[in-house]
């Protein structure tokens, strides 16, 4: 994939992996747009990177997605890369019943937004000589943690959707990438991490972004968490054993 001269839209781009990717693409002389729900964080990002374009919006809503699409296509005619990065993670205990689902909806933010934004932008991206959709999934799409049941389900959905999209668009100019990061030191579910006193904060966002950029440059359509490499040849029994070992504390 060509890494310079692009116009890139990154959802959830004000912090974490999204911001690290924005910084990486700016260094490669691309035009970069980030969007998110927190105006303050967007403004902070732009202050640090004056060439960055920002847009406050909520991609979990139909109105937010359509508004973003119109604004981007009206102002950035050369848009050719969409990075679906926006996401949240919640610890949910279903022994509490329906009460456990009160609060932000992981399905609309992590999965629905990604699907609908892809559908909105595909006709635009298809008209470009070179274009790409990059979906930020998770290693938990393959090996889930029971404490994050809906999050893991949405990322498994992202994984499956990305595979199908790659197949459907194989005859077009759009390259379809999936990134399955390991634990990354971001604000994702920081409240839960602090509550549990989690010692392993994961790799730095910049290191994660560097691995993603390298994978994109080499047209690695599944940019894997290194610990998942062995799962390419894993049996169902292997996966079941890994699941039990990861969730033994539950």
Residue 117: the pLDDT is: 98
Report, as residue numbers or ranges, the catalytic residues: 151
pLDDT at 204: 87
pLDDT at 54: 98
| Sign of the alpha-carbon torsion through 40, 184, 60, 178 | positive
For 84, phi and psi rounded to 5 degrees? Answer: -85, 95
Other beta carbons within 10 Å of 235? 9
pLDDT for residue 244: 72
**CA gyration radius, the chain:** 18
The whole-number pLDDT of residue 229 equals 63
Q: Give CA–CA dist 210/206, Å, rounded.
A: 6
Rounded to 5 degrees, φ, ψ at 30 are: -110, 155
The domains found in the chain, sorted by start residue, are 7-246 (3.40.50.720)
pLDDT of amino acid 190: 53
Report phi then psi at 224, rounded to 5: -95, 145
Tell me which residues of the chain have a pLDDT lower than 70: 186-201, 225-234, 236, 238-240, 242-243, 246, 248-250
């Amino acid at each position: 994939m060509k890494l310079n001269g692009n116009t890139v839209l990154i959802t959830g781009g004000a912090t974490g992996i999204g911001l690290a990717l924005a910084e990486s693409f700016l260094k490669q002389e691309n035009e970069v747009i980030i969007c998110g729900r927190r105006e303050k964080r967007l403004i902070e990002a732009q202050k640090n990177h004056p060439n960055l374009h920002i847009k406050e919006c909520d991609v979990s809503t139909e109105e937010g997605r359509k508004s973003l699409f119109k604004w981007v296509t009206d102002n950035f005619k050369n848009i050719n890369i969409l990075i679906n990065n926006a996401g949240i993670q919640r610890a949910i205990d279903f022994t509490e019943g329906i009460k456990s689902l009160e609060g932000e909806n992981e399905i609309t933010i992590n999965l629905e937004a990604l699907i609908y934004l892809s559908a909105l932008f595909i006709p635009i991206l298809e008209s470009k000589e070179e274009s790409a959709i990059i979906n930020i999934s998770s290693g938990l799409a393959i090996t889930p943690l029971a404490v994050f049941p809906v999050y893991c389900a949405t990322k498994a959905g992202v994984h499956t959707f990305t595979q199908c999209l790659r197949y459907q668009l194989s005859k077009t100019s759009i390259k379809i990438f999936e990134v399955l990061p390991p634990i990354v030191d971001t604000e994702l579910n920081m409240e839960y991490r602090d509550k549990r006193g989690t010692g392993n904060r994961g790799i730095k966002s910049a290191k994660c972004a560097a691995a993603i950029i390298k994978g994109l440059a080499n047209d690695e359509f599944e940019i894997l968490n290194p610990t998942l490499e062995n799962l390419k040849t894993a049996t169902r029994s292997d996966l079941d054993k890994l699941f039990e070992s990861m969730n033994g504390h539950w």
